[in-house]
Structure 1
Amino acid sequence: MENKNRQKNSFDWRSLIAGTAGGVASTAVFHPLELIKIRWQVYEAASLKKLKFLDNPSKDKLGQLAPSYRPKYRGLFDTVLSVYKNENGIRGLYRGLGINTLASGSAWGLYFLVYNGLKARHDKKLTISNYTLDATIAGVSIILVTNPLFLIKTRMCLQYSEIDKDVGGKVVKYKNTLEALRTIVRNEGFLGLYTGFIPGLFGTLNGTIQMVSYDLMKSWWTNYFHEDLNTVHFSTFSGLSKIIAVVCTYPFQLVRARLQDQHQNYKNFFDVLAKTYRNERIYGFYKGLIPCLVRVTPAASLTFIVYENLLNFLKTL
């Protein structure tokens, strides 16, 4: 009995392995959509062309917002073609894959480790407040560790082959992930690795909403239908929970990406909010939402399918 209680109150290494595997698998498959999403999140030019309700929308204003060397995209499909044509074909679409795999794999693995560890400490049936608090603590803990990795991932995804290394004295292009790390620390200090941390904290609501929704769906299904869950359930519940989470928290993801964009100079979180709303209105906060949903819905399903099945297998060992 004592041994069982000790196991119940400890963090389970199997969650770490299964979560990491799920994150790596989904990243490897869907990375090109992540790159396209980030490109659109920071693409200031698109909104002003579409916002007919803005007072006197000006092409000059548009030019002042977007760096002159930033590629011009007419739509999502055009973005894919542009990256493929101008940035070394398929390699361009997988720019930043290595650091994204490391960031996403470690984030998912650590998240499941902490989240499941916290849930295991409850002696009674979990309530919505238990799920919410545990998921939030896990999310905040993980972003403290992984924010530098996701910052570098964003910087690598915003590499444009057409530009030189230095534009106006500011480094905007890196040879590889290690150089990006060294350059950020040298030019922006250690705290530069935590650029975008504040919207990232708000963005942890994404994980909270997703995990609470996912666990509640699983709990409801098993209690109502009295049957074991399978891959179809994992896929459906994780996809639905991710859609709910993204729609609720997407503006924070966009603000974080813009703060981390090496081609712009926003002062802080509130500067991004003010400029984005002034120049692009509410639409600006949801740019890239479609490729985001196209990416994260199947990616979440794949992550949880791998996670749940591998975790169940590891428990049999």
Structure 2
Amino acid sequence: MSRLKDYENLLGGLSGGVVSTMVCHPMDLLKIRYSANEGSSFRPQYSSYVDAARQITKSEGVRGLYQGLTPNLLGCALSWGAYLHVYNWMRQRARSSFPSAAASPHLTNFACAYVSGASVMCFTNPIWLVKTRLCLQYESGVEKYDGMVDCMKKIVREEGPRGLYKGFVAGLFGASHGAVQMMLYTHLSERRARQLGREPTAQLPLTDYFFFSTLSKVLAVTLTYPYQVVRTRMQDHNAAYRGVWNTLTRTVQGEGVRGLYKGLLMANIRTLPATVIVFVTYEKVKHAVRTIDK
């Protein structure tokens, strides 16, 4: 019979995803708009992130900064919950079934994290697609989509079910982002626990979670960021890109290699609060579940 403790990673991930999204969604919106902007005249032109926030709030109020919140909330909660649950389950199975896994923990953690991320992407890609399109409904134009459900219906009607998986291949490349992050985070957390003479899964001080989550995320974002630009542009209904290679080459030809890093600053600025909130909430909820289920 399953115990509540068996779902500690799922519950912790769900909680972390919800809390971080509620706090950090406006920064996510700005990152998406900068990633998508290749200089087209139909898009609003922003001189800075502050200018973008000012223009959006002037046109639509603070509410405008929360376009796409519903799919982002749903996507983050499901992604973090399922991802952390599957990742930890796979690590335990790998270590118990394959003795060689213990000899190469970094490779094992990376592989488990990548497979977990790719698996979760299979059912969350439509949610991320809808979020991107709602975030790219500019205040100066007529809104094409009236919320998450309407957006999903129109995509299926106009582009077929396959339309819900635009950017999926780029997302699979992006699973390496989460794999790098979890490999580093797990390594740092377990190493710190050993230094303190505790079990690898023991609870650590909040400052450790703060530092480890921030460092692992910043490194992962910076190393793998181009996939986010490619994926955002492929999912943008305001422009027509034909596959990963076409999007990649057009971006580099039109904007240079720097174009692949548009929005990186906002992505890293957003990383600090969002990642810390996710992992601190995750660790606290996970250990609270253990306490309840003793």
State the TM-score, normalizing by the size of structure 2: 0.92
Match of 2:15 among 12, 21, 26: 21
**Rg comparison, structure with higher value:** 1
Instruction: Report what 2:237 is aligned to.
Output: 262
Matches within 5 A, 1:1-317: 12-45=6-39, 66=40, 68-86=41-59, 88-121=60-93, 122-123=95-96, 125=102, 127-165=105-143, 173-226=144-197, 229-317=204-292
Hey, which of these two has a bigger chunk of helix by percent? 2
Aligned partners of 1:152 and 1:95: how far apart in 2? 11
Shift of 1:314: 0.2
Residues 83 and 92, structure 1, Cα contact 8 Å, conserved in 2: yes
- Give distance in 1, aligned partners of 2:42 and 2:142: 10
Shift of 1:306: 0.3
Q: Residue 55 of structure 1 corresponds to which residue in structure 2?
A: none
Shift of 1:153: 0.4
Hey, which bits of structure 1, 4+ residues long, moved more than 4 A? none
- Cα offsets for 1:72-106 (capped at 9, x unmatched): 111111111111112x1100001111110001110
What letter matches 1:107 in structure 2? Answer: S
What are the ranges of 5 or more consecutive residues in structure 2 without an aligned counterpart? Answer: none
Post-superposition Cα deviations, 1:252-295, rounded to whole Å, max 9, x if no partner, equal: 01100000001000111111111100011111000101111111
Render the CA deviation track for 1:150-201: whole Å, top value 9, x for unaligned.
0000001001122135xxxxxxx21111110000000011010000001100
- Contact 2:56 2:139 survives alignment (8 Å): no
Residue 230 (structure 1) shift: 1.8
Aligned-residue sequence identity (percent) comes to 37
**Number of residue pairs matched?**
282
1:184-230: CA deviations, max 9, x gaps? 00001101000000110000011000000000001221223435512
CA distance in 1: counterparts of 2:80 and 2:196, whole angstroms: 29
Structure 1 residue identity aligned to 2:221: V
Q: CA RMSD in A?
A: 1.8
Cα separation, 2, equivalents of 1:42 and 1:221: 39
Q: Do 1:14 and 1:314's aligned partners in 2 also have CA atoms closer than 8 Å?
A: yes
Query: 1:217, 1:277 → 2: CA distance?
Result: 36
Q: CA-to-partner distance for each residue in 1:15-49, whole Å, 9 max, x for gaps?
A: 1111010011000000000000000001112xxxx
CA drift at 1:69: 2.4
Whichever residue aligns with residue 42 of structure 1, its letter is A
Contact 1:12 1:117 (C-alpha < 8 Å) held by counterparts: no
Q: Give the secondary-structure state (helix, strand or coil) at the position aligned to 2:225.
A: helix
The residue type paired with residue 83 of structure 1 is: I
| In 1, Cα distance between equivalents of 2:274 and 2:138 | 26
Amino acid at match of 2:45: K
Whether the aligned pair in 2 keeps the contact of 1:246 and 1:293 (CA below 8 Å) is: yes
TM-score, normalised via structure 1 length:
0.85
